[in-house]
Amino acid sequence: MKFLLALVALLMLIAAPACSISVTSSTAGSAGGATAHGTYSLANDASLVSDVTLGGGALSRQSASAGPGMIAEGVSSGSGSVSRTVAADGSLSYAASDDASGAAVSSGMQASLSGSAGIFSAVSSGAENEMTVAGGFLGEGGDMSVSLTSVAADQAMTTGEAFALGTQCLNGELTQGIAGQDAAVSVHALYVSDDKNIGEFGVVAQNAKGGATAKPAPSEPSYKLTGYRWSRNPQIVITVSSIDLPSSISAGDVKSQITSAEISWDTVAAEALFGNVAEASDGFNRDFGKYGTRDYKNVHMWTTDTRLSDSTIAMTITWYTRSKIVTGADGKLYSQAVESDCWYNDRLSWRIDQDEGNKASSFDIRTIALHELGHTLGLKDLYDSSNTDQIMYGYNDGTSRWTLGSGDIAGIQKLYGAP
Ligand SMILES: [Zn+2]
């Protein structure tokens, strides 16, 4: 969640809104009371409509801004509450409705965000658990649309869909995959914008039993940790698809490029991170690389699935336990990653670049694999311009980069030790 918090801070600096409005409304009916709250910062042709129906428990709001905006609002009633945040530095439109009856709260939201940075989050809290769904994008020409439904009674649940640049990065399969469990899933994707600058988007969904609040993972300037790592000496086996490969590139080529990327990470860690790359047939890949399926197989595959938009390069989906059950080399407890799949966009051009540092109108497999495997191992993207030497830097101009930076190494050694 640190990723998202950092983005919120960034946006608040960028937005510097023209006006800010705070609203608190309360109802107290025979079936119990409900409290709605909201803070709105909207600039440039902004509009805000807020309807509060007392007694019936129904609340609806619509907001839109042609300029930077930020909305944080929610509703609480009895044992349940739902809170939401959306912000963008370009423009946003937002509609939400809440229904509070008895002790339960149910709410829906639709939001569209655009600009160079945007975030959304929905947190539903019930007596037995707390579920968070959050995401964002960073990169010029970005856009995101979100449709979420939250219910908070004894059991809290948030489900829905999110699209970034036309790529579906959240769907019901992912949120259902952690429903009723102490579990989490994250999606990270690289995308390329029209001007060839590469940005990033991501989504995290986590379900915390016992209503525990997520605590941001510690971070230092040149690396950021996701909060998960694998079991000790995991020897993660990546299985490469042998079908739908980029033209003129064989499965053997792909295996050797991913193996090279794995070795880069393995040589700077004390633990044995990766096992030998495997190659698999059609049926295996289609079953185990399937989106939204937690099957404990790690598949790298090229796909034309329309959940990857034309501008999306690759996407990594990692499943991990919500509970902190594995100790890192730094002595701290981490969630345990259990599966990580990577999709590469088969509608884009790919290359194997023997000349490290070469730029081309295609993507070097080893460069992208090195970055995506960093997510698999537990590292987040970096956006500060002081971090351009790190593989986990969230922007790239198409250059081949095969060398880990000092921050990449420091981060991986926090988790897996120094050799
Ligand atoms: Zn990334």
**DSSP 8-state assignment for residue 38:** E
CA of 389 to the centre of ligand 1 (A): 14
Task: Tell me how far the alpha carbon of residue 190 lies from the centroid of ligand 1, in angstroms.
Answer: 6
Distance in angstroms (rounded) separating the CA atoms of residues 219 and 225: 6
Q: Is 62 found in the same domain as 96?
A: yes
Q: Are residues 398 and 251 both part of a single domain?
A: yes
Predicted local confidence at residue 218, as pLDDT: 38
Residues 195 and 236 in one domain: no
Q: Ligand 1 center to residue 64 CA distance, Å?
A: 30
Interval between CA 108 and ligand 1 midpoint (Å): 29
pLDDT at res. 16:
35
Which residues lie across from 71 on neighbouring strands?
40, 86
Q: For the chain, what is the domain count?
A: 2
Domain boundary among 216, 234, 249: 216
Q: Are 150 and 106 in contact (CB under 8 A)?
A: yes
Q: Which of 187, 216, 245 is the last residue of a domain?
A: 216
Q: Which stretch of DSSP H or E encloses residue 176? A: helix 172-177
CA 191–ligand 1 middle distance (angstroms): 9
Provide the 3-class DSSP secondary structure of residue 89: coil
The model's pTM: 0.66
In this prediction, residue 14 carries a pLDDT of 32
Same domain as 288, residue 157: no
Strand-pair partners of 183:
207, 321
Q: State both tokens at 288.
A: 């185990």
Rounded to the nearest 5°, which phi and psi values hold at 212? Answer: -65, 145
Rounded to the nearest angstrom, the distance between the alpha carbon of 394 and the centre of ligand 1 is 6
Q: Which domain holds residue 87?
A: 2-216
Low-confidence ranges of the chain (pLDDT < 70): 1-33, 50-59, 78-79, 101-103, 189-200, 209-220, 281-293, 310-311, 395-397
Residue 77: its pLDDT value, please? 72
All residues at 6 or more sequence positions from 89 whose CB lies less than 8 Å from its CB, including other chains: 11, 14, 15, 68, 115, 116, 117, 118
Say if residue 202 is in the same domain as residue 118. Answer: yes
pLDDT for 53: 59
| pLDDT tens-digit series, residues 388-412 | 899 998 766 678 999 999 999 999 9
The number of residues making up the chain comes to 419
Tell me, in angstroms, the distance from the centre of ligand 1 to residue 383's CA: 10
Q: Which of 180, 193, 203 is nearest to 119 (CA)?
A: 203
Predicted local distance difference test score (pLDDT) of residue 305? 80
Residue 327 Cα to ligand 1 midpoint, Å, equals 24
Domain match, 384 and 362 both: yes
The sign of the dihedral angle between the CA atoms of 283, 289, 295, 298 is positive
Would you call 30 exposed, middle or buried from its count of C-beta atoms within 10 A (0-12, 13-18, 19+)?
exposed
151 CA to centre of ligand 1 in angstroms:
31
φ/ψ region of 94 (left if φ > 0, alpha if ψ in -120 to 50, else beta) reads beta
Give strand pairing partners of 190. Answer: 200, 314
SS3 content of the chain, % helix, strand, coil (to 5): 15, 50, 35
Same domain, 251 and 351: yes
CA 199/CA 206 separation, integer angstroms: 24
CB 277 within 8 A of CB 259: yes
Pairing of strands 312-327, 183-192: antiparallel
| Gap from CA of 39 to ligand 1 centroid (Å) | 31
At 5 the pLDDT is: 22
- For residues 346 and 383, state if they share a domain: yes
**Residue 374: predicted pLDDT:** 96
* Structure confidence at residue 30 (pLDDT): 45
Does 107 share its domain with 242?
Answer: no
C-alpha span between 268 and 271 (Å, rounded): 9
Same domain, 160 and 199: yes
* Ligand 1 centroid – CA 370 distance (Å): 10
- How far away, in angstroms, is 212 Cα from ligand 1 center? 27
Number of H-type helices and E-type strands within the chain: 6, 23
Shared domain check, 171 and 254: no
CA of 188 to the centre of ligand 1 (A): 6
407 contacts 390 by C-beta, under 8 angstroms: yes
CA of 192 to the centre of ligand 1 (A): 12
Do 150 and 189 belong to one domain?
Answer: yes
Q: Is 359 helix (H, G, I), strand (E, B) or coil?
A: coil
Q: For residues 87 and 42, give the distance between their C-alpha atoms in angstroms, rounded to a whole number.
A: 10
Distance CA 217, CA 198 (A): 25
| Domain-terminating residue out of 193, 216, 239 | 216
Q: What is the CATH number of the domain that holds 388?
A: 3.40.390.10
For residue range 24-81, what is the model confidence (pLDDT) as tens digits? 666 554 455 677 777 777 777 777 776 665 455 666 777 777 777 777 777 777 667 7
At residue 286, the pLDDT reads 62
- The torsion region of residue 205 among left (phi > 0), alpha (psi -120 to 50) and beta comes to beta
